[in-house]
Structure 1
Amino acid sequence: MPRRHLIAALLTLWLGHAAAAAPDPFEGDPYQSHPWVDMRKEYLGATAKTVFDDRVQVRGPAFAEDPMNVPITVSVTNLPGVDRIIVLVDRNPIRKVLEYQPMDALPSVSFRFKLEQASPVRAAARTADGVWHIGGTLVDSAGGGCTVAGATRKDGSWTQTLGIVSARVFDATPIPGEAASGSRLRLKVMHPMDTGLVGGIPAFYVNRLSVRDERDRELLRLQTFEPVSENPVFSFDFPVKPAGTLRIVGTDNNGNRIDAKLE
């Protein structure tokens, strides 16, 4: 083999090894999002083990026509032992949307949130072994959802409805490909959910919700943050229909209490 060909072959081999040895700056992220690595460390723990997992499904619109009300459903299937779900949005000014502990509910939640610009929307589900399983979807948007005042803030009607809860339990319709659940709880809390990113309006949002049964046993716990939409609506699934009276309790970041009963 001519010397120049040998040198070229060795150089190609060396470059191939170097490329294989180079660390992936996105840590395997399918969206190759630059904020992801820092987000993983901040919200999931610098030493926590994370895996991208198709069993964690995040469903949302390909394009958000209303960036102040983007519908998202998170569901975890065939992954036992999920004790916590965190929803994150890479390119929101406030990235953490909510944190959900299913307890006696199924590891699924539906809600609406505010989207500032096109971004991956992720759900991280932690199993009993401490591993975070990551799923996501990409939502495009014209943006601006986090920096615009809500309708009730503009017309002032929020003062008349603050903290009012409406809820209903009904038989759930199974999602294709998923196991049927016994029932679904849908609840709405009247609250302006201000992000604090609109001039002259400080952050004001529901920060904790808990659903309890008639024996005061906690069925699920939800921690919410500023990006959740105004007058938030949440849906939760249960393997069996909760019996008796349900109680929905919570607070907002100003200390206002939420307390309602659902017969």
Structure 2
Amino acid sequence: MRPTYRDRRRWCGWLVALSQLTVLYWLLVGAALAEPPEDPYRSPMWHYNLARYLGEAADIRHSDRVVLKVPHFAEDATQVPLTVDLSAFEHEVAEVVTWIDLNPVPHLFTLRPEAAEVRTVALNFRIQQASTVRAAVRDEQGRWHVGSAHVEAAGGGCTAPSATASNPDWAASFGQLRGALFSPAGGLAGARLKAQLMHPMDSGMVSHIPRFHIEHLELRGASDQGRLASMSLSESASENPLFVFDLEHDGKEDGITLWMRDNGGNVFESRLGG
């Protein structure tokens, strides 16, 4: 018996309804997958900063393999040490983003390894009030692994005037770059770069003092000047920044060139090791 016109319309209606339900199902599944995990520190800026720095639809998970080392209490709110230890991270590191949730400018730095494997990066930062600090690491598949830690602080670090710039002789030491390349203890592979630049790193949050800070850094192979890693910095970085990198790359016997540029167009460069 041939189906009637009414039967065909009924079947078409069912097919349309089924396709709509299928689309709705996958939309709901996609939304559930994109929903970030809850923040154990219950920071009010958790969701906002994730979307701002990692993207609205980022695949995010907490990870104890991203080890974020900060003091429990910031004795000096203008100089708070931070170390991101990735020695136990089992994936390839494609990008590292760090931020301080409650700072006026939360972003601290974004690091992108290129021809080097970076296992540790350390830098001091300013903190405006007690806050949770984050380090998010993107792996080779685009997934973000987040390590978090909380720092208690009396605050005011972002709006405190630079001690360097208040020295009448600060211009004489401005731009001095001191550093060295070390072999890690215990016979481990790789190298440790440690360098400090004399720079006021003004945050722009002090009256009549404009923003003036290092905004870009590159590590380059000393022999071929090929880029090993690059870093962008924001106003939360401390004055006279001290950088520490543990990394492994080909040609490490030749040394590394450290190159930096501030937002005033000043360039600072030094060859370390080799």
Please give the TM-score of this superposition, normalised by the length of structure 2: 0.81
Task: Name 2:39's counterpart in structure 1.
Answer: 29
Structure 1: 4+ residue segments shifted above 4 A: none
Residues 211-231 of structure 1: CA deviation (Å, up to 9, x unaligned): 111111112211111111101
Aligned mate of 1:61, from 61, 71, 75: 71
In 2, Cα distance between equivalents of 1:85 and 1:232:
18
Tell me if the contact between 1:55 and 1:78 (Cα under 8 Å) persists in the aligned partners: yes
* 2:142 is aligned with 1:130: yes
Aligned mate of 1:224, from 233, 238, 248: 233
Q: Secondary structure at the match of 2:51?
A: helix
Report the residue type matching 1:204 in the other structure. Answer: F
Report the residue type matching 1:93 in the other structure. Answer: P
Q: Are residues 101 and 26 of structure 1, via their aligned partners in 2, closer, same or farther at CA, if it must alter by over 3 Å?
A: closer
State the aligned residue count: 235
Shift of 1:180: 4.3
Tell me if the contact between 1:50 and 1:133 (Cα under 8 Å) persists in the aligned partners: yes
Task: Name 2:92's counterpart in structure 1.
Answer: 81
The runs of 5 or more residues in structure 1 that have no matched partner are 1-24
Task: Name 1:101's counterpart in structure 2.
Answer: 112
Shift of 1:181: 4.5
Shift of 1:26: 8.2
Tell me if the contact between 1:57 and 1:135 (Cα under 8 Å) persists in the aligned partners: yes
Q: Are residues 49 and 108 of structure 1, via their aligned partners in 2, closer, same or farther at CA, if it must alter by over 3 Å?
A: same
* 2:218 is aligned with 1:210: yes
Q: Secondary structure at the match of 2:237?
A: coil
* 2:244 is aligned with 1:235: yes
Residues 152-183 of structure 1: CA deviation (Å, up to 9, x unaligned): 11113332222221111112247xxxx94532
Q: Secondary structure at the match of 2:217?
A: strand
Q: Looking at CA atoms only, which structure, 1 or 2, has the larger radius of gyration?
A: 2
Task: Name 2:194's counterpart in structure 1.
Answer: 186
Task: Name 2:178's counterpart in structure 1.
Answer: 166
In 1, Cα distance between equivalents of 2:143 and 2:36:
19
Report the residue type matching 2:258 in the other structure. Answer: I
Residues 192-249 of structure 1: CA deviation (Å, up to 9, x unaligned): 0000000110110000111111111112211111111101001101236812242111
Q: Give the superposed CA RMSD.
A: 1.9
In 1, Cα distance between equivalents of 2:242 and 2:36:
34
Identity %: 34
